[in-house]
Amino acid sequence: MKSINETLALLNKSYSPFHVVKNIEEKLLSSGYQMLKEQEMYQLKAGGRYFVKRNGTSIIAFSIPNVLSRPYFKISATHNDSPTFKLKPNPVVIYKNLASLNVEPYGGAIYSTWMDRPLSLAGRVMVEGKNGVEAKLLAIDEDLLEIPNLCIHMNREINKGYCYNPAKDMLPLLGEVKEGFDFNAYLGEKLGLKGEEKVSSFDLFLYNREEAKLMGMNKEFLAGGRLDDLSATYSVLLGFLDAKENDGINVYASFDNEEVGSLTKQGANSDFLRLTLKRILKALGLEEKEEAALAASTLLSVDNAHANHPNHPEISDKTTDVRLNGGIVIKFNAAQSYTSDGLSASLVKKLSSLSGVATQEYTNRSDLRGGGTLGNISNSEVSLTSCDIGIAQLAMHSSYEILGAKDVEAMKKLLETYFSASLCLNDDGFTVR
């Protein structure tokens, strides 16, 4: 239960990607990792532990063994953003005596799940002071907002299906205000700004106020907001931190913006991972071995998977049997939306056997389009032997999701085994010690 409790504690202070990366940073620092800056040259040494951030929303941590007999990387990748609504600039919309906030969808949220529940705001606020601009994290710890449904008396057909208009239906109610209400000044009050400090700009998102918790007859389920992909982000982190030293360089990466395509400087489709790997080798005096090192390296792309839905069995593929608490899901797709193939899937199965956890295999129904994830996006920047895996869940992209609690522990164990192992990879197979 230790991993479950740690994951729950982290989930309940993960209000935005900025806060997720702050949580990861704190765990790394408490485990002896040293922060690097992209704007400076890397100074690395054998046995060192390091991490680097980009934009405050993506982070890469790595550990170097004391003896690096052959350079190669064992990499994990997760994402730390989730579908939500982002606040627009100048967001206040006043109707009579009521103020609402103008928002736009971030990612593919299930709109109805955001209505009629306590919400609040979290993210980054840029504060202008006497000598420049500084980023400050903000999470308003109040039941601040609600997106009110139109009552059934005025929409009698709502239970037969409704097409929500995000520009009209999804604006959260902020409060009763007077004309001239200054939203930036309100944010300044929440941040406790003083003197000449003032809000310059912001990246703020809605978040569901209901905390993550264990549910079910035997507390066998974990339910909460942002489980896709934070349940993986944190279980992988815990496995990374508990791994034993081996002969490879362990790399933990958590990217922002997966839910909107990863086409940002901090997304998986950026040069962040590729340049970090290159700079590690250069700082260790191994720059000339870069191509060989990458050819010997592996990537586990960890993003949650779809469990068979008990109310909709017809949606699942005929031969796919993915269950909550059924073990780690290996995801396959012929069009390579997932990067898993026979070689990389066999590696995961071997690691699962060594760690004592079960695996399951997922494919989309052949006439339904599935989603994509980090594996093939990352591989567009740096080519690696890669497998897409995840924790099975239901209600993906809802504001409140559910998965099997045992699978969180299983993911932690699998990644701990992966990062502790010595891998020797070739085109025909691999060995694991």
Burial 37-47 (b: 16+ CB within 10 A, else e): eeeeebebeee
C-alpha distances in Å from residue 253, one per residue of 51, 53, 70, 423: 9, 10, 22, 19
What is the pLDDT confidence band of residue 91, given thresholds at 50, 70 and 90?
A: very high
Q: Could you tell me whether strands 73-79 and 249-255 are parallel, antiparallel, or unpaired per DSSP bridges?
A: parallel
Expressed in angstroms, the distance from the first to the final Cα of the chain is 28
Q: Which tens digits make up the pLDDT trace of 129-148? A: 988 999 999 999 999 999 99
What is the pLDDT confidence band of residue 180, given thresholds at 50, 70 and 90?
A: confident
Give the side-chain half-sphere CA count within 13 A for 379: 22
Instruction: Determine how many CB atoms are found less than 10 A away from the CB of residue 95.
Output: 9
**220 pLDDT above the threshold of 80:** yes
Q: Which tens digits make up the pLDDT trace of 22-57? A: 999 999 999 999 999 999 999 999 999 999 999 999
Q: How far apart are CA 114 and CA 124, in angstroms?
A: 21
What is the pLDDT confidence band of residue 317, given thresholds at 50, 70 and 90?
A: very high
Q: Which tens digits make up the pLDDT trace of 152-173? A: 999 999 999 999 999 999 999 9
Q: Identify the pLDDT of residue 377.
A: 85
Cβ within 8 Å of residue 33, ≥6 positions away: 49, 50, 51, 61, 63
Q: How far apart are CA 33 and CA 344, in angstroms?
A: 29
Letter for the amino acid at 147?
I
Average pLDDT along the chain: 96
Q: Which tens digits make up the pLDDT trace of 327-341? A: 999 999 998 889 999
Rg of the chain (C-alpha set):
23
Cβ within 8 Å of residue 285, ≥6 positions away: none
